Amino acid sequence: MHQEGQLSAGSLVRRWFRMLLGLTIGSVTGMAGLAAAAVDVGVVRLTEYELGRIARFDQAVHTNPLTRRGCRRYLAVRWLVGALGAGVIYMLAFWYVVAVSMVTAWLSGGDWGFIEEDDRVSLGLILLVTVPGVLVIFVTTVGVAGVAVLERWLATALLGTSQQTLLRQRVAELTSTRAEVIEAIDDERRRIERDLHDGVQQRLVALGMLIGRAKRAKSEGHLHALLQQAHDTAGEAIDELREVATRVYPAVLDDSGLARALEALAERASVRVDIRNELTESPGKALEAVIYFVASEAVTNAAKHADPSVVEISVWSSRSEVAVRVQDDGVGGADPTGSGLSGLDRRVKAVDGALDVLSPAGGPTVISARLPCA
């Protein structure tokens, strides 16, 4: 517990120094922003710089799309915050200089420079100014954080969206996503039912008929031929049932992980599939399943409709997200509103991801998904 407290205190100190550096830069750019707002030149670019500075030295601000008018109004007001930050930084530096120079003069027995030459800094004088000095330094130290909060508030008020509005938007998104997930589950159930009814069930009916004919066979040669057909039909039914089960959820994904599941997908595909998997660790079972189904649906669509010579699957990760991209060199023209791709879109949105489909006529088709990860 003591070590955690030390780490937390160190983090706070580092954050305070980052805010101090950010305010120092902001106090300089504040006047530049006022000048830009006065002549209405470069206001959008300078506002983007200010927002980037706030995000780098403090924390990001959620903003609406920037407009020239909004940026000009923001810069016309932000210089006041910059001036306030400059004042706080000046007071903080001034009192630190005063304190250090007083203690140095007292220890060396020399003149301080702020009192008459024949006087010397005494311990009593230091004690006299200690209490107000500590209070001023404390207030200005806290003032650095206060100005940083004021700067974030100003950017949000003039350019961005309030926290309450963001929360309402988030609730609306989650409500919509939940409805889409329920719809996707229903669509998946109907597709499984169709696959079982039109595929496996028909194979089993044919198998039963073959066995019935074999029971009535009059010659041994006819019996062997019917039994061979029944054996082949049973194998086809097993393969089709295994395919349906794989489309529901591939067991290899749990048993061997995403890399092996993608390799198995490439082995089963009727087209050539190249895989470039740059993941060094698992992003979690939920994201692995989404990545797999994006790749599986994209490969299936390409093989059915695009007539490609090769399909490329790429998976990589950054600091905050995992991305998967499937590209084929087929004829293009994939419809993002089709049942397969729209179902993928709902599946990706269920984990707060985003799916993009680019498929111009003549190709190539690129299906990519970005999935946030912890």
Token pair, residue 123, equals 């311990």
277 and 228 in a common domain: no
Rounded to whole angstroms, how far apart are CA atoms 209 and 327?
44
In the listed set 219, 248, 277, which residue is the last one of a domain according to the structure? 248
Q: Say if CB 310 and CB 329 are below 8 A apart.
A: yes
Evaluate whether residue 171 is within a structural domain.
Answer: no
- Phi, psi torsion values for 270, nearest 5 degrees: -85, 0
Q: Both 23 and 95 in a single domain?
A: yes
Collect all residues with Cβ–Cβ distance below 8 Å to 240 and sequence separation of at least 6: 195, 199, 200, 203
Shared domain for 209 and 320, answered yes or no, is no
Give the residues across from 354 on adjacent strands: 370
Q: Residue 168: inside a domain, yes or no?
A: no
Q: In this structure, which amino acid lies at residue 152?
A: R
Residue appearing with tokens 């707002």 = 37
- From residue 82, alpha-carbon distances to 14, 164, 306 in Å are 21, 27, 58
| pLDDT tens column, 3-39 | 444 446 778 888 888 888 988 999 899 888 899 888 8
| Three-state DSSP class for residue 315 | strand
CA dihedral 136→139→145→151, nearest 10 degrees, is -90
Rounded to whole angstroms, the Cα distance separating 154 from 165 reads 16
3-state helix, strand, coil in the chain (%, to 5): 70, 10, 20
- 357's CB contacts (< 8 A; 6+ apart) are 334, 336, 341, 365, 366, 367
CB 266 within 8 A of CB 326: no
Is residue 344 within 8 Å of 293, Cβ to Cβ? yes
| Domain-ending residue, one of 248, 275, 291 | 248
Residue 20 shares a structural domain with residue 103: yes
Which of 192, 216, 248 corresponds to the end of one domain? Answer: 248
- Residues 273 and 244 grouped into a single domain: no
The Cα 112–Cα 131 span in angstroms is 19
Q: What pLDDT, on a 0 to 100 scale, did the predictor assign at position 178?
A: 67
Query: Which residue ranges of the chain lie beneath pLDDT 50?
Result: 1-7
Sequence-distant (6+) residues with CB within 8 A of 90 are none
The reply to whether 176 falls in a domain is: no
CA dist., res. 309 & res. 313, Å (int): 14
- Predicted pLDDT at 93: 87
Q: How many domains does the chain have?
A: 3
Entry pTM: 0.48
Nearest 5°: phi and psi at 323?
A: -125, 145
Distance separating alpha carbons of residues 155 and 74, to the nearest angstrom = 7
Provide the domain limits for residue 134: 2-161
pLDDT of 312? 92
**Burial bucket for residue 160 (CB in 10 Å: 0-12, 13-18, 19+):** buried
